């Protein structure tokens, strides 16, 4: 179990994600329960980079996203597929990098301080869309293709077999 938080702000971008991924695997210790993974990943991304908001919107019901584990200021609760950056990424199942949220039609401003954003679709082992990972920054143009590729790699953990350790034997 990793004992401490890490700060990756001083590292080159690619190294930062490798360090976070290593830390995530240590922290998860084989656990693949999706809610536990979402909570742990949100925590590491938020504190590791010092972002404004980092977390998940889960697919619940028909074409509806509901806020899931996150770190940061209060997130909007529900987002319909096709609405905002999250809903568009979910509907189109593609990563969206927004250098300036003011230019994205229908951007949903949960926190007025947000200037740039990235949203990455999350799929399970069977290829079903289960969530989107959303990260918001107070600075413009925080995210680019390197973040997109690294985060897409990071969320592949949700497609791994469930590694929740078996319950201890009952006496």
Number of residues counted as binding ligand SME (CB under 6 A): 15
Q: Which stretch binds ligand SME (CB under 6 A): 11-19, 42-50, 107-115, 161-169?
A: 107-115
Residue 136 vs 147, nearer CB to ligand SME: 136
Q: Which residue has the tokens 């593609």?
A: 94
**Under rule CB under 6 A, residue 45 binds ligand SME:** no
Where do the DSSP E strands lie in 26-153? 53-59, 64-72, 78-80, 96-98, 116-123, 129-137
Residue range at the interface with ligand SME (CB under 6 A); choices 2-10, 21-29, 108-116, 139-147? 108-116
Q: Which residue is nearest to ligand SME (CB)?
A: 84
Tokens of 21: 């991924």
Q: Report the first-to-last Cα separation within the chain, whole angstroms.
A: 27
Tell me which stretch binds ligand SME (CB under 6 A): 20-28, 74-82, 148-156, 159-167.
74-82
CA distance 69 to 57: 8
Residues 136-165 that bind ligand SME (CB under 6 A): 136
d(CA 36, CA 14): 25
Nearest in space to 136 (alpha carbons), one of 100, 88, 105: 100
Residues 46-65 close enough to bind ligand SME by CB under 6 A: 53
The footprint of ligand SME (CB under 6 A) covers 53, 75-76, 79, 84-87, 107-108, 110, 114, 117, 134, 136
């Amino acid at each position: 179990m990793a004992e401490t938080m890490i700060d990756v702000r001083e590292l080159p971008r690619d190294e930062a994600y490798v360090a976070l991924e290593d830390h995530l695997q240590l922290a998860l210790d084989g656990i693949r329960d999706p809610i536990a993974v979402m909570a742990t990943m949100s925590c590491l991304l938020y504190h590791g980079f010092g972002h404004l908001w980092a977390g998940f919107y889960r697919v619940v019901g028909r074409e509806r996203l509901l806020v899931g584990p996150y770190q940061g200021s209060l997130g909007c609760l529900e987002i319909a597929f096709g609405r905002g950056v999250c809903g568009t990424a979910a509907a189109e199942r593609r990563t969206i990098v927004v250098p300036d949220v003011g230019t994205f039609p229908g951007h949903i401003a949960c926190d007025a301080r947000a200037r740039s954003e990235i949203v990455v679709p999350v799929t399970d082992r069977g290829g079903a869309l289960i969530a989107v990972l959303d990260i918001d920054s107070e600075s413009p143009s925080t995210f680019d293709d390197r973040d997109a590729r690294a985060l897409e790699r990071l969320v592949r953990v949700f497609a791994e077999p469930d590694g929740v350790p078996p319950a201890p034997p009952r006496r």
